[in-house]
Amino acid sequence: MSAGSDALTGISALSPDQQARLERAWGDEPGFYGWLKSVNHKTIGRRFIVTAMCFFAAAGILAAIMRLQLARPANTVVGPDLYNQLFTVHGTTMMFLFAVPVMQAMAVYFVPIMVGTRNIAFARMNAFAYWIYLFGGLMLFGALMVNAGPDAGWFSYVPLAGPEYSAGKRSDFWAQLITFTEVSGLLVSIEIITTVFKLRAPGMTLNRIPLFVWAMLVTAFMIMFAMPSVMFASTALITDRLVGTHFYNPAEGGDAILWQHLFWFFGHPEVYFIFIPALGMMSSVISTFARRPVFGYPVMVLSLVATAFLSFGLWVHHMFATQIPELGKSFFTAASMIIAIPTALQIFCWIATLWLGRLNLRTPLLFVLAFFVILLIGGMTGLMLASVPLDLQIHDTYFVVAHLHYVLIGGAVFPLFGAIYYWFPKITGRMLSEHLGRWNFWLFFIGFNVAFFPMHVLGLKGMPRRVYTYPADMGWNELNLVATIGAAMIAVSMVLFVVNVVISYRSRAATPANPWGASTLEWATDSPPRPYNFARIPVIGGREPLWEASGIKGHVHGLSYDTPELLITTVQDAALDHRMAFPRPTIWPLLTAIAVTVLFISSIFTPWAVVWASIPVTIALIAWFWPTRREAAEILALERKP
């Protein structure tokens, strides 16, 4: 590694012996068993990112099959029953197993480093959150493999998903998938909030935390208040199906619209907790490649917070086709228009940043610039859909499919790919190829528009969503074929991405600590970071630590080298509060996740599983909590009373 990197990471301040001791305190244990026991946020974060990308690929393959089926009229690649499972599992996977988890996964990896600490808060819970997410995803795809994939759409409306119209176990798998992923997502949100509030490096006041960290903090709060809604809704659905409750059964005083309220009270904020992390990624990339701080930091932060609040007041615009009072609809139309304002403020701040900066037009910036084009179109169609009469006309048509893909892919997936190109050297120590990156970008960008733009027109021409085929005389043939060609281009671009990752990962070229010349703390660690992230915890003196002369004022010493020990600081000013020993690797999060998985899956087949399967869960949790002699002795040895 270059001398410049050493000066940046300060590793030479530690003796080889001190480095080895820190490595033992924070690193994973060797071997496969050690791999299973890991509680290091970078190990878990990497796993989380890779798993989420695998689910992205799997759901993408399902989409490709659907596009093949729709390429020409009266096609017979798949039949209606399988098609229903395909679009349901595609949407469910993209939303619950890819979009939300991948954003949280990036936070699990980067938030602790960006705030200048050595692990995430509640590191064992973090490992548990990963395992439970993995097992939930495997359950969903396992169900699909045995022809028991959910088939009532990703928002699983009752009465279609209820006991009367969805016999069998398909919708139960959907409901339990929600439980798995929401448990995971909620736990990670607690970890992120605690990490941001209590583990920041001394001197990193709230006014100095990177915009990406702000975005993840805001997202974590949103998740905390939105996800319980879908968990509650799906629990009520599964009890309706399995033990005969009547929440959604109108014959016994229940109500189907109740499902829509509960689902969208989660579902609309969900769009924003996919979108807001992407905004944070945008700020990171734009600042680095414009080579200046993001213009209007307070505006950016307040816009994120405003978006989060407003996003809880939009849910009814998904329900304009139901019997709710017209006055109520008007309110939600207005709210849907208002939320464009904070987003616009951020876009103007980014434009100002790009305008005032010296641009370095590399692949990460290309992906981020695509956001401006695609999201803008998605936002425009969003404004159109927010108006009740227009919404009623194009409700449940391909216009909505086009809109949601413009918003989600343009607003989240393009920035995510920019972020992957940007942070790949930090995670792996290897740069992705710029050449392949450009091919990846342009094929994705063009393919995306070729695939999804025609769907606007198809929708206006009346093609309903979720139909497995269509007759030849509807005037939909050409546009559907064009969309399928676009999908093929996206598929090729994704293959190029995988090739790029594999080739780069295998190359030997080592990357310096800060290859892009960025300003935030993750670039003051080695690429990839050591298990303990920082040789010494920095003391922060500015908002752009690596760009300002006094950005890093000094370093912390006096923490243990042999016990994983962290600094806890105060919420607002990041002043010293106390130091705290952190957990070492343990197998119990994995065993607990297995026990919980047994409970969740077997309760689909017999309600009594909730009783008997809770016994192993309890035992695992107690074993998890029980202090080992070694840990207790370590903690006592370092104890200093308040």
Partner 1 sequence: MNDSIEAAADGSLDVSKLRSYAYGHSSMMWWGTAGVMAIEGTVFALAVMTYFYLRTRVPQWPPGVASPVLLWGSVNTLVMLASALPNHWTKRAAEREDLGQVRIGIVVCLAFAVVFLVLRIYEFKYLNVNWDTNAYGSAVWMLLGLHTVHLLTDAMDTAVLAVLMFTGPIGGRRFVDVSENSMYWYFVILSWIPIYAVIYLVPRAL
Binding residues for partner 1, rule: CB under 8 A, are 121-122, 186, 189-190, 193-194, 197-198, 202, 224-225, 227-229, 231-232, 236, 239-240, 243-247, 249-250, 252-255, 258, 261-262, 265, 539, 541, 553-559, 567-568, 570-571, 575-581, 618, 622, 625-627, 629, 632-633, 635-636, 638-642
Question: DSSP state, 46?
Answer: H
Q: Please work out, in degrees rounded to the nearest 5, the angle formed at the alpha carbon of residue 437 by the alpha carbons of 435 and 442.
A: 105
**Residue 39 CB, nearest distance to partner 1 (Å)?**
15
Contact in structure between 164 and 90 (CB atoms under 8 Å):
no
**Residue 573 CB, nearest distance to partner 1 (Å)?**
11
Q: Let me know how long the chain is.
A: 642
Q: Which residues contact 60 (CB under 8 A, 6 or more apart)?
A: 490, 491, 494
Distance CA 230, CA 251 (A): 23
Residue 539 three-state SS: strand
**Residue 554 CB, nearest distance to partner 1 (Å)?**
2
Distance CA 135, CA 147 (A): 18
**Residue 104 CB, nearest distance to partner 1 (Å)?**
14
**Residue 376 CB, nearest distance to partner 1 (Å)?**
34
**Residue 549 CB, nearest distance to partner 1 (Å)?**
12
**Residue 513 CB, nearest distance to partner 1 (Å)?**
20
And the tokens for 360? 């370095």
Closer residue to partner 1, CB minimum distance, 217 or 451: 217
CA-to-CA separations, 146 to 105, 461, 534, in angstroms, rounded: 29, 36, 48
CA-to-CA separations, 499 to 44, 63, 289, 433, 584, in angstroms, rounded: 24, 21, 25, 10, 36
Closer residue to partner 1, CB minimum distance, 97 or 559: 559
Closer residue to partner 1, CB minimum distance, 197 or 600: 197
Distance CA 400, CA 129 (A): 33
Q: How many C-beta atoms lie closer than 10 Å to residue 490's C-beta?
A: 23
**Residue 194 CB, nearest distance to partner 1 (Å)?**
4
Closer residue to partner 1, CB minimum distance, 428 or 563: 563
Distance CA 421, CA 365 (A): 9
Distance CA 468, CA 73 (A): 10
Strand partners, 538: 555
Closer residue to partner 1, CB minimum distance, 145 or 251: 251
C-alpha closest to that of 590 among 38, 158, 31? 38
Distance CA 453, CA 476 (A): 14
**Residue 249 CB, nearest distance to partner 1 (Å)?**
7
Closer residue to partner 1, CB minimum distance, 113 or 559: 559
Closer residue to partner 1, CB minimum distance, 18 or 570: 570
Distance CA 588, CA 624 (A): 5
Residue 171 three-state SS: helix
Closer residue to partner 1, CB minimum distance, 31 or 325: 325
Closer residue to partner 1, CB minimum distance, 59 or 574: 574
Closer residue to partner 1, CB minimum distance, 80 or 554: 554
**Residue 72 CB, nearest distance to partner 1 (Å)?**
46
Residue 262 three-state SS: helix
